[in-house]
Amino acid sequence: MSDQVTCVWDLKATLGEGPIWFGGALWFVDIKGRKILRYEPDTGEALAVGAPEPVGFVAPLSLGGFIAGLKSGLYKFHPLSGYQPLLTIEPPELDNRPNDATVDAQGRLWFGTMHDGETAKTGSLYRMDAQGVARMDKDICITNGPCVSPDGKTFYHTDTLEKTIWAYDLSPEGLLSNKRVFVKIALGDDVYPDGSVVDSEGCLWTALWGGFGAIRFSPTGEAIGRVELPAPNVTKPCFGGPDLKTLYFTTARKDLSDETLAQYPLAGGLFAVRVDVAGQPQHEVRLA
């Protein structure tokens, strides 16, 4: 770590999530605030576009615009033209919503769904490609942190309430096998693993909900680094900047008492810190 953590946008997000670096800017969402957000570090310019429903992620499309995961399904999104329905993922009676996503080097979108009330194991992990959407894992209450190793051979996915980060073998065809525990988070009753990202050395950065920061794990699951933030609920890291050596973090004000918010007024902000190891580039979803 070469610099101090700074709050670059004190936006007070209810549930900031899903940051990605694309087009020289950081894109992310406020799920419960129903907004897609864009922050340009060079100018400090910030943009917020309202969403008609809770929005769990955005992912860039190779043909332009984004895929947005809204509660009722996947939509095509463009800041100027808004939202266009793409497909429904699950029946509405499940009361699920999308939560967190990644795009692999082959242009496949990986995303999870979770129970919006955070009580039922109705969530699943999905893969979307030009052939359609396939369910890859299931029976999860809160899905989180899908990400892929630099060599494309290992896939990671988090079951937040079980405090478990899983690793899988990922085939060139996009199939998962050999599911195994990568790491269990044991930092107290109220600390949970949230979103994750893998850097260029194959190390996994995992945000800590209730843990005031993030941990860096080696490819063997050893904790080898940590970043502390002045916000209790850290939701996901993302590498950005021209050299991909600025590590950004989204955070949330959700579930925090008035007393806690008074103590940590930057909760819900977007944070940044310079790091020594770069991240991986953001890939685009290819549906054709």
Please report, to the nearest 10 degrees, the dihedral formed by the alpha carbons of residues 226, 232, 233, 235 taken in order: -30
Q: Which residue has the tokens 């310019």?
A: 45
Q: How far is Cα 222 from Cα 236, in angstroms, rounded to an integer?
A: 19
Q: Is residue 270 within 8 Å of 249, Cβ to Cβ?
A: yes
Residues linked to residue 255 through DSSP beta bridges, in sequence order: none
Catalytic site includes residue 194: yes
Q: Is 198 helix (H, G, I), strand (E, B) or coil?
A: strand
Tally of CA atoms within 13 A in the half-sphere of 13 that contains its CB: 33
- Catalytic residue (one of 104, 194, 243, 276): 194
Q: How far is Cα 57 from Cα 70, in angstroms, rounded to an integer?
A: 8
Helix (H) or strand (E) holding 261: helix 258-263
Task: Please choose, from the candidates 26, 112, 120, the residue with its C-alpha nearest in 3D space to the C-alpha of residue 69.
Answer: 112
Which amino acid does the sequence have at 102?
A: T
Helix (H) or strand (E) holding 262: helix 258-263
Catalytic residues: 194
